[in-house]
Amino acid sequence: MTDPMHRTILLFDIEQFGTRDDVEQAFLRRLLYEVVDATLLKAGIDEPARLRADRGDSVMELVDAQASVPALVKTLLTETPALLHSKNRLMATSAQMRLRIVLSSGYVAVDELDGWVGSDLNHAVRLLNSDPLRDALKQHEDASVLCVADGIYQGVVRHGPLGVRPGDFHRITVETKEGPTVAWLHGQPVASAPDCAAADGTSAPHAPGSGATPPRPGTVDLGGASFGGSYVAGDQHGVSGQGMVLGDVNLGGGATGRGEQK
């Protein structure tokens, strides 16, 4: 086994690869290679500075540590989505490709079977297969979504190199077998569940079967305030002392009707 060497770790994975037939899978693999090669070339990374491992529905690249990481991040955010769009727009839906992408770094060794080993690589793979990244791609308009490891974010992204906006990333924590792993996702956070408060502070509607508690009968909702108990709708005359109450009467029990007070 070689000595561990510090590398930039770049991973690509095709969404819903297993749902395609053999012909579609073979086509998608060729398409993936084209996108990966074009991305790295546009980032100024030549083939001698790369080491590739094929994982069927995914490709793993170990990039020489001397290659520019800021240039790679910018390319992944701009050129890669453009490449995917230009290819997908000419294809049937079944042949289109969407990608989860992870950019990380760390020490990786190569064993006598040409296998890659290293805890930093393991963490990158955990991010690639994480639910937050899968969910983000499902809600993403573009055909790819990028996740960067915390080390890449702290060392490169947060400093805002040309073409990279730190504010476009948000922090996530991925629970893995090795413990919590912090990373940063590009794009807006995944939308809240329907029964959570909306972004403007208002409550979400009470959907049937959602488990949310509906308003109690006899309670009037005034937006931010409410009151319960007896509620009289319509005109009222002479409520104190002797008099008549005209209109709907709700005494908090849910039954309404017309009644008199004498």
Domain stop point among 171, 186, 201: 186
| Residue 156 and residue 63 share a domain | yes
Q: Tell which residue, 25, 27, 52, 23, has the closest CA to residue 39.
A: 52
* pLDDT for residue 237: 46
- Measured CA angle at 93 (ends 87, 98), to 5 deg: 60
Q: Which domain range does residue 81 map to?
A: 5-186
Residue 110 is inside which H or E element, if any?
A: strand 99-110
* pLDDT for residue 234: 52
> What's the domain count of the chain?
2
| Residue 170 and residue 100 share a domain | yes
Burial of 48 (0-12, 13-18, 19+ CB in 10 A): exposed
- The answer to whether 237 and 229 have CB atoms below 8 angstroms apart is no
DSSP symbol at 47: G
**Dihedral pair phi/psi, residue 159, rounded to 5°:** -85, -5
- Would you state the structure tokens that stand for residue 203, as one six-digit string? 């409550």
| Residue 229 and residue 161 share a domain | no
- Would you state the structure tokens that stand for residue 8, as one six-digit string? 């930039």
* pLDDT for residue 208: 41
pTM of the complete model beyond 0.75? no
* Mean pLDDT in consecutive groups of 10 residues from the start of the chain, 262 residues: 92 89 89 95 94 88 96 96 92 88 95 86 93 91 94 96 94 87 89 41 42 47 47 47 49 46 44
| Residue 37 and residue 113 share a domain | yes
Domain stop point among 168, 186, 204: 186
* pLDDT for residue 217: 46
**Dihedral pair phi/psi, residue 258, rounded to 5°:** -100, 140
| Residue 142 and residue 92 share a domain | yes
Other beta carbons within 10 Å of 136: 22
| Residue 226 and residue 182 share a domain | no
CA distances in angstroms from 238 to 25, 39, 190, 235, listed in the order given: 80, 81, 56, 10
Domain stop point among 143, 167, 186: 186
* pLDDT for residue 95: 83
* Cα–Cα distance measured from residue 156 to residue 241, given in angstroms and rounded to the nearest whole number: 77
| Residue 138 and residue 65 share a domain | yes
Residue 173 region by backbone torsions, left for phi larger than 0, else alpha for psi between -120 and 50, else beta: beta
Instruction: Kindly state whether residue 116 falls inside one of the protein's structural domains.
Output: yes
Instruction: Kindly state whether residue 17 falls inside one of the protein's structural domains.
Output: yes
CA distances in angstroms from 177 to 119, 126, 144, 172, 188, listed in the order given: 11, 9, 26, 16, 27
For residue 46, give the CATH number of its domain. Answer: 3.30.70.1230
